[in-house]
Amino acid sequence: MSTINIAIDGPAGAGKSTIAKSVAKELGYVYVDTGAMYRALGLYFLRNHIPAEDTAKIVKSLPEIDVTICYENGEQIVMLCGENVNGLIRTEEVGNMASRISPIPEVREKLRDLQRGLARKENVIMDGRDIGTTILPDARLKIFLTASPVVRAKRRYQELLERGVECDLNEIERDIIQRDEQDMSRAVSPLRRAEDAVLLDCSDMTVEETKNKIIALLAEA
C-alpha cells in the first residue's frame, strides 16, 4: 500500500515545524523535520573545525558521518554518530552552518535517501526547502508556507526567549533575510515553490487556523 505524504517548504521561521507537528498529531502522521538533518551535519563540521568553504574536506568526510532518525513519544530524534543531538542543533550558529553546507550536492544526496526512505514507510508530513520540488515530487499535498520577514523574526525571537536563549530581534531579522538569500540562490535544489504547491501566507493566521486550512486542503487533494 502506498503512503500519503504532505510536503511543506518555505523560508526560515515561517512556522513550518510548528504547523507540521500539529497537522501530524491531528492526522496521526509522522512529522519529518529535514532541517534537523542538515543541522546535525552542520554541527559535525563546526565541532570538527571544518569550514563551510572547504568543500573537498566536507565531501571526503561525509561517508564517516552517520545521521539517523528515530522517534521517541512521537518526537523526532536526530542521531549523529550514535549521539542524540536534538538539544544542540537549535542555535543560529548551527542553522547558519546548515544553510552554508546545504548547497553541496553530495550533502544533499546523503540526506535525500534517508528522507525518501522515511516517506516510503509511513504517512509523513515533511518540512524543508526542496521537499515539494525534489524529495517528494509525488506528494499528495504540497504547501509553500511563508510569512513576512518581520513576523518570522518575531516568532524566532519568541521561540529563543522561551528556551532561555538571549537574542536580539534586529540581528535575527538580518540573519533570516541572509539565510533566505542563501537558500534561494544556491544552484542545487534552491528554496522555491513547486508549481503545484499551494502558497500559504500565515503572517496573520494562528497555528490552529493554518493547521485547519492544511487539513481542508488535504481533503480536497
Residue 87 carries which side chain, given as an amino acid letter?
A: G
Q: How many Cβ atoms from other residues are within 10 Å of residue 209's Cβ?
A: 11
Number of residues that bind ligand DC (CB under 6 A): 14
22 binds ligand DC, rule: CB under 6 A: no
21 binds ligand DC, rule: CB under 6 A: no
Nearest CA among 77, 57, 58 for reference residue 67: 77
Nearer to ligand DC, 128 or 149 (CB): 128
d(CA 56, CA 96): 19
Sign of torsion, CA 156 143 120 180? negative
Nearer to ligand DC, 28 or 188 (CB): 188
Among positions 15, 35, 132, 149, the unique one binding ligand DC when judged by CB under 6 A: 35
12 binds ligand DC, rule: CB under 6 A: yes
Least separation, in Å, of the C-beta of 200 and ligand DC? 16
95 binds ligand DC, rule: CB under 6 A: yes
Sign of torsion, CA 160 164 169 171? negative
34 binds ligand DC, rule: CB under 6 A: yes
102 binds ligand DC, rule: CB under 6 A: yes
98 binds ligand DC, rule: CB under 6 A: yes
128 binds ligand DC, rule: CB under 6 A: yes
173 binds ligand DC, rule: CB under 6 A: no
- Kindly state the helix (H) or strand (E) to which residue 7 belongs, with its residue range: strand 5-9
142 binds ligand DC, rule: CB under 6 A: no
Least separation, in Å, of the C-beta of 11 and ligand DC? 9
Q: What Å distances lie between residue 17 and 44, 67, 76, 146, CA to CA?
A: 22, 20, 11, 12
Find out whether 62 and 81 touch, Cβ atoms under 8 Å: no
99 binds ligand DC, rule: CB under 6 A: yes
39 binds ligand DC, rule: CB under 6 A: yes
59's CB contacts (< 8 A; 6+ apart) are 104, 106
Residues that bind ligand DC (CB under 6 A): 12, 34-35, 38-39, 95, 98-99, 102, 128-130, 179, 183
